[in-house]
Chains A and B, each alone.
Chain A
């Protein structure tokens, strides 16, 4: 990766962490709206980057958000998991003949594939994080409800940043 690209992704990293901790973690609408928009960074992370590096970056991002929101380990765990699952999800949806290095987006993958990919990523992330947050299977319907609502919001937010043409 060139310096330019590193800079670009560092900037994205910082902006998304700040957006997450300053705005999206502070929505008090209905009491459980907490879309995890920061995952946009992992979703759009270049696929050509070394997988280990991707995991480390995901761990760093989750850790930073953990520190900001006083939830030690939770975001780190969920983010690393999603970052790890990303390759398999992409392999599942993306045709084999796609070139190796790209940043997943509607423009590159087309809406149907991208939507499937994003939906899986986002749902897994929310489900994991809210489960860890509850840390029990009591009132699990609440975790599912939160997952459903926030996944929809996050997916819409992610889609709203995509160029369709």
Chain B
């Protein structure tokens, strides 16, 4: 016994060394199972609080970067919401009544909210809460789920102003859905529920209750979006054109959400049309 004790006293440190190294080695070899023991990992209370205290200092240096990332992410999510909203509106249209126009490769829609609107002037205007940064440019069409609203006239970074159909400057090419006879949609500035159609030749076949839709000639609107419903048509003796009055498809007094139509190949179409003219 005494000998054993003396032996241990003498070589105890070697045993301790071997023992500690053995423990460490076993832990290393079985590290996968030990890593699951949370008290032995950095997720235990003490080390986690030390790390979070240190992090609360360090995070100040990364604030601007974190800020940027968050706002980027915010932007992406916003765009997604807008896209989904537009899709949703599209789907609602199809279930409601008829599809106005399907979102396809050529046309994209940017959903926007009307933040100011007037119907009581000769030159009415609409302001939207989306602008250049959202992809809106001048001369883009604006529609809602009822029909044509107007054409974008000017944009800032975040807002866009629209010349609605109810503006004496507005001229929108349209056609009769049934007979495909073309005309130009105007507004005489009197009644915000009724618009006029000019330049429909006398030989065209127009009846009351015909639907007038966009012609699709310009790159502003896709073809076939309702602009109005004929309420009165006449052929005055002294004129070579029909005199047509139509109820607007979109109800301007209660505009709230609209979609801005983005035609992808606008420049291409323009170029082709220019070449044609020369």
How far is it, in angstroms, between the C-alpha of A81 and the C-alpha of B22 when the chains are bound?
A: 11
Instruction: Name the interface size band of chain B.
Output: 20 to 34
Quick check: B34 and A67 within 8 Å, CB to CB? no
Against B, the Cβ 8 Å flags (1 = close, 0 = not) of A53-72 are 00110010010001111111
Against A, the Cβ 8 Å flags (1 = close, 0 = not) of B11-33 are 01100110011011111100100
How far is it, in angstroms, between the C-alpha of A5 and the C-alpha of B12 when the chains are bound?
A: 25
B52 → A minimal CB distance (Å): 12
Instruction: Name the interface size band of chain A.
Output: 20 to 34
How far is it, in angstroms, between the C-alpha of A56 and the C-alpha of B12 when the chains are bound?
A: 13
Quick check: A76 and B20 within 8 Å, CB to CB? yes
Quick check: A68 and B27 within 8 Å, CB to CB? no
Quick check: B42 and A73 within 8 Å, CB to CB? no
B174 → A minimal CB distance (Å): 64
Answer yes or no: B41 CB below 8 A from chain A CBs: yes
Contacting residues, chain A, for B47 (C-beta < 8 A): 21, 67-68
A30 → B minimal CB distance (Å): 20
Contacting residues, chain A, for B28 (C-beta < 8 A): 72-74, 77, 132, 135
Chain A residues in the interface with B (C-beta under 8 A): 18, 21-22, 51-52, 55-56, 59, 62, 66-74, 76-77, 80-81, 84, 132, 135
The 6 residue pairs across chains A and B that have the minimum distance between CB atoms: A73-B27, A77-B24, A73-B28, A76-B24, A73-B24, A72-B34
B72 → A minimal CB distance (Å): 23
Quick check: A80 and B31 within 8 Å, CB to CB? no
Quick check: A72 and B25 within 8 Å, CB to CB? no
Contacting residues, chain B, for A73 (C-beta < 8 A): 23-28, 31, 34
How far is it, in angstroms, between the C-alpha of A69 and the C-alpha of B17 when the chains are bound?
A: 23
Answer yes or no: B272 CB below 8 A from chain A CBs: no
Which residues of B in the span 39-63 have a Cβ within 8 Å of any Cβ on A? 40-42, 44, 47, 50-51, 54
Quick check: A72 and B42 within 8 Å, CB to CB? no
Quick check: B41 and A52 within 8 Å, CB to CB? no
Quick check: B42 and A84 within 8 Å, CB to CB? no
Given A67-B42, A68-B42, CB of A77 within 8 Å of CB of B35: no
B74 → A minimal CB distance (Å): 28
Quick check: B25 and A77 within 8 Å, CB to CB? yes
How far is it, in angstroms, between the C-alpha of A73 and the C-alpha of B40 when the chains are bound?
A: 10
How far is it, in angstroms, between the C-alpha of A132 and the C-alpha of B26 when the chains are bound?
A: 12
Quick check: B12 and A52 within 8 Å, CB to CB? yes
B29 → A minimal CB distance (Å): 8
How far is it, in angstroms, between the C-alpha of A72 and the C-alpha of B25 when the chains are bound?
A: 9
23 contacts between A and B (CB under 8 A): A21-B47, A21-B50, A51-B13, A52-B13, A55-B13, A55-B16, A55-B17, A55-B20, A59-B20, A67-B40, A67-B44, A68-B42, A68-B47, A68-B50, A69-B42, A72-B31, A72-B34, A72-B35, A73-B24, A73-B25, A73-B31, A74-B24, A76-B24
Contacting residues, chain A, for B35 (C-beta < 8 A): 70, 72
Residue of B nearest to A23 (CB): B54
Which of A18, A52, A62, A132 counts the most B-chain CB atoms under 10 A from its CB? A52
Residue of A nearest to B57 (CB): A22
B19 → A minimal CB distance (Å): 9
Quick check: B24 and A22 within 8 Å, CB to CB? no
Q: Apart from A68-B42, A72-B40, A80-B17, what 8 extra A-B contacts exist at CB < 8 Å? A: A18-B50, A59-B24, A62-B24, A67-B42, A70-B42, A73-B24, A77-B24, A80-B24
Quick check: B44 and A84 within 8 Å, CB to CB? no
Contacting residues, chain B, for A55 (C-beta < 8 A): 13, 16-17, 20
How far is it, in angstroms, between the C-alpha of A66 and the C-alpha of B23 when the chains are bound?
A: 13
Contacting residues, chain A, for B44 (C-beta < 8 A): 67
Contacting residues, chain A, for B54 (C-beta < 8 A): 22
A51 → B minimal CB distance (Å): 5
Contacting residues, chain A, for B20 (C-beta < 8 A): 55-56, 59, 76, 80
